[in-house]
Structure 1
């Protein structure tokens, strides 16, 4: 266990923050080895789940700042993972769609995420992993209304 003061170690919020830091570091390292960033996974996953989306919708779906979404979409478009096309309902904005190459990339990144989850959650039994996920989901849902 860490050398942090006991007053910190017995606080769930502090522990969640510490665990999130470890998970974040593991994910960043794994994505970097594959030439990706975690934002790539989030944007590709959101488009896959929601279909063609505006940049604003992708920002809302992923929690990524709108200005960062533009940069990520530029990177993904340069790699032919997504395409931009005018929105037929509103010509002032573009819809971002997943290409076939982007779908394959998302599948690859999903494997990396699964591997990272296995490393991060290694000390937990399968039932404990499910329980942790349920509890964290409840907390997030409660605070995001």
Structure 2
């Protein structure tokens, strides 16, 4: 049981909820043979188009060395392709493949299930309100 003093702190509640959500996503992705980094990179490529590894790191908030490792894993599965950047041959441009798009679509479905599991105690209206409020808090915190 949560001590009353902590239960009254939104920061503590958000931290505990975020840790729970992270575990749910990580465990569910692991059961699918994926990781959160894979999803974030595939989503960034699908939403933003081809990009360099450095740009992908900035788009996703993933450290450069972790980007390279995760992209290597995605390339091994033929989910992304790397090609020399025509403007700078020292750089690679990363592109999502058809198989990568299919994998992302599957992971989107998996994530929908995780969201439903995480937010099961809330009604659809409460979920919409929670998302709206969290978005406001996060937007205010963004640099």
Q: Corresponding residue for 1:14?
A: 12
CA distance in 2, matches of 1:139, 1:60: 22
CA distance in 1, matches of 2:122, 2:2: 22
Q: Corresponding residue for 2:117?
A: 119
Report how far residue 133 of structure 1 moved.
Answer: 0.9
Q: Which runs of 5+ in 1 are unaligned?
A: none
Q: Which moved more, 1:71-80 or 1:135-144?
A: 135-144
Question: When the two structures are superposed, what TM-score results if normalisation uses the length of structure 2?
Answer: 0.96
Q: 1:85 aligns with which of 83, 93, 96?
A: 83
CA distance in 2, matches of 1:138, 1:89: 39
Report how far residue 71 of structure 1 moved.
Answer: 0.4
Report how far residue 88 of structure 1 moved.
Answer: 1.3
The secondary structure found in structure 2 opposite 1:96 is strand
Q: 1:53 aligns with which of 46, 51, 54?
A: 51
CA distance in 2, matches of 1:7, 1:94: 51
Report how far residue 31 of structure 1 moved.
Answer: 0.6
The secondary structure found in structure 2 opposite 1:73 is helix
Question: When the two structures are superposed, what TM-score results if normalisation uses the length of structure 1?
Answer: 0.95
The secondary structure found in structure 2 opposite 1:112 is helix
Q: Corresponding residue for 2:27?
A: 29
Give yes or no for the alignment of 1:63 onto 2:65.
Answer: no
Report how far residue 144 of structure 1 moved.
Answer: 1.4
Report how far residue 138 of structure 1 moved.
Answer: 1.4
Q: Corresponding residue for 1:42?
A: 40
Q: Which runs of 4+ in 1 moved over 6 A?
A: none
